[in-house]
């Protein structure tokens, strides 16, 4: 059940990150071609920013799970015995608690976005602000999953499930 949940969220986030990356590449390509022809659309720069924000929102949780986020592994991994796993658990727990505590503020941020439109594309900013809420929810989910995996798999690497093990 835990492995299925992890695989579902990992697949969902990878698909979302891929979609955001494709949009980002397309927008930049249109912008570069437009500059070459002397007619660069204004909306491409805005779309690029939004795609980059969503790319980070979808990728942060997966990066946490796989250990690709910036952290102090050198110190933790050099510790003896079971201490590295325990420190990962503390970090995962703290990340989940912090993410969950920020969700109400992010929901207010999304509501503020209903009052605004983006300047170039006239997109309601609630869709852009939703990326912050998405990031916090996904980060909380992945941090909780990593905590549970470390709890259940004493002495094993919690990233093994995301790397096909």
Which of 148, 154, 152, 155 lies closest to 65, judged by CA? Answer: 148
pLDDT score recorded for residue 72: 62
Task: Report residues of the chain scoring pLDDT below 50.
Answer: 155, 158-165
Contact of 143 with 99, CB cutoff 8 Å: yes
pLDDT score recorded for residue 99: 98
pLDDT score recorded for residue 93: 96
pLDDT score recorded for residue 116: 95
pLDDT score recorded for residue 77: 76
What pTM did the predictor assign?
0.84
């Amino acid at each position: 059940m835990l492995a299925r949940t992890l695989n579902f969220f990992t697949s969902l986030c990878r698909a979302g990150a891929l979609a955001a990356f494709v949009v980002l590449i397309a927008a930049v390509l249109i912008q570069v071609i437009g500059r070459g022809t002397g007619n660069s659309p204004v909306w491409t720069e805005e779309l690029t920013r939004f795609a980059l924000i969503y790319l980070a929102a979808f990728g942060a949780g997966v990066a946490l799970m796989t250990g690709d986020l910036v952290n102090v592994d050198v110190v933790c991994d050099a510790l003896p015995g079971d201490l590295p796993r325990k420190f990962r658990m503390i970090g995962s727990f703290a990340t989940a608690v912090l993410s969950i505590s920020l969700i109400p503020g992010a929901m207010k941020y999304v509501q503020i976005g209903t009052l605004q439109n983006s300047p170039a594309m006239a997109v309601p900013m609630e869709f852009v602000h939703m990326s912050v809420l998405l990031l916090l929810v996904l980060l909380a989910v992945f941090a909780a999953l990593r905590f549970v995996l470390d709890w259940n798999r004493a002495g094993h690497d919690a990233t093994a499930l995301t790397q096909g093990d």
